[in-house]
Every structure is written in structure tokens, then in C-alpha cells.
Amino acid sequence: MAELRVINSGKKVLAAKDAAALTSQLVSGLEKIGLAMKSRTWRREGRAGLGPLQRQVLTLLRSKPDQRAQVSTVANELAVRLPTASEVIATLERKQLVRRRRDVSDGRVVMAQLTAKGNRACGPSSGMPDRLAMATSTLSALEQSVLLTSLVKVIRSLQDQGEISVARMCVSCQHFRPYQHPNADRPHHCEFINAPIGDRALRLDCQEYEPASNVQAKEAWEKFTGLHSV
């Protein structure tokens, strides 16, 4: 009996080491992708006079209605301090890529809006998104679906740790209802479009996103991760 316990204990240690090694490899792979994107951004945007954070601000404003947002919103969504966001926006304003205005309904609120020049400046300027699309297109439909749901879980965990700002993902949206339908291909329901959706339709940044309450988000996440197997 003692010998059996030793064998089982050894198996558990080996399994833990294998899991740690796999996690390390996944982290290494994600870091390589991140470094490749950052390196290309530095090379292209640096020559164009735009730093990475400046480009992020422009891209964020471009995604907003009327291409404008409060300075505090920019700071929150990019997970930077308000003085940092204000300084970057002031720099972009000097470059005539952004204009700052006081909100008409509340003079205490400062809005940042993309100019026509800024809109052109934050357009696609490198081939990295296309290269990533080409790389992910080599995956099968099932592999792409698994990758997407895995990214959702990784991003959600990073949000919980406070490492990144809240992303406008389906899983934390008040319109999302996981596993409402028996259809294996489209088990979830989106109340905004009032239609069933599958894992492949999950969004990481949705324009129609409306944050769910803490209780609803917790229940949806538990149901999504509890019934979803990767």
C-alpha cells in the first residue's frame, strides 16, 4: 500500500511538472507574438513620429462613436494613469491628430476627438494584422474556435488581476446568455440581436457592449466556463 502511494505521488509530481512546462511554453509563445507586433510597431510608427501609446490612443478614439471619448475613458481603457493619458493627448493635439474640447453638457469634462489627419494616421500602416490573419487562417475551424474561447478566458483572467482594462467582451455583457439553446453549434444567445450565437461569434471588442451587473456577469461566467470544455 505504501509503495502504491509513492507511485501515485510520483505521478502527481510528474503531471504538475508537465502542466507547468506547458504553461511556460504557452506564455513564451504569446510573448513572441507580442514582441513581434511591438517590434514592427516601433519600427513603423517610430519613423512616422508616433509612439506605441500614441497609436493606441488614436486607434481607441477611432473605434468610438463620433471618434471621441473623455480623457478619463481613454486612461481607463488603456490602463494608464490619467496624467499619462492627458500628456499623450496633448502631444497628439500639437501634432494636429486630436482636438480637445470641453463637453457642452458638463464643462468639467474634457473630450478628445480624432481629427481627419488623426484618422488617416491611425489607419493600418503595417502588415502585422494581415500576417496574423494569414497565420490564424491556417488553423482548422475547430482550432480557431478553441483559440478564441481560450483568449476570452486569458483576457478575463488578466482583467481580474487588474493587468488590463475591461474589454467589451460578450462574456461580461448584459446581452449575453450562455448555453440557452440545445444547438451545439450555436448554444449561446445574444439579446441585442435576439438570436443564437456560437463560440466562433464571440467578440472581444463589441460596439454594442453594455456591461452586465456584477451578479449577472459572475453567473454568466460560471455557466460559460462550467459547461464549456476546451
List Cβ neighbours of 64 (8 Å cut-off, separation of 6 or more).
none
Band (pLDDT 50/70/90 cuts) for residue 92 is very high
Using alpha carbons, select from 61, 46, 56 the residue that is nearest to residue 98: 61
Band (pLDDT 50/70/90 cuts) for residue 11 is low
Band (pLDDT 50/70/90 cuts) for residue 15 is low
pLDDT at 171 over 60: yes
Q: Which fold has domain 50-121?
A: Arc Repressor Mutant, subunit A (1.10.10)
> Please, what is the average pLDDT of the chain?
80
Q: How far are the Cα atoms of 50, 62, 79, 186 from residue 91, in angstroms, in the given order?
A: 10, 17, 18, 46
The pLDDT tens digits for 109-153 are 888 999 998 888 876 544 455 677 788 888 888 888 888 898 888
Q: How far are the Cα atoms of 58, 175, 179 from residue 221, in angstroms, in the given order?
A: 31, 13, 11
Percent of the chain predicted with pLDDT > 90: 26
pLDDT at 24 over 80: no
pLDDT at 54 (0 to 100): 87
Q: Which three cell numbers stand for residue 135?
A: 497565420
Band (pLDDT 50/70/90 cuts) for residue 47 is very low
Q: Where are the domains of the chain?
A: 50-121, 139-230
DSSP H or E segment with residue 207: none
Q: Within 10 Å of residue 77's Cβ, how many Cβ atoms? A: 20
The count of residues in the chain is 230
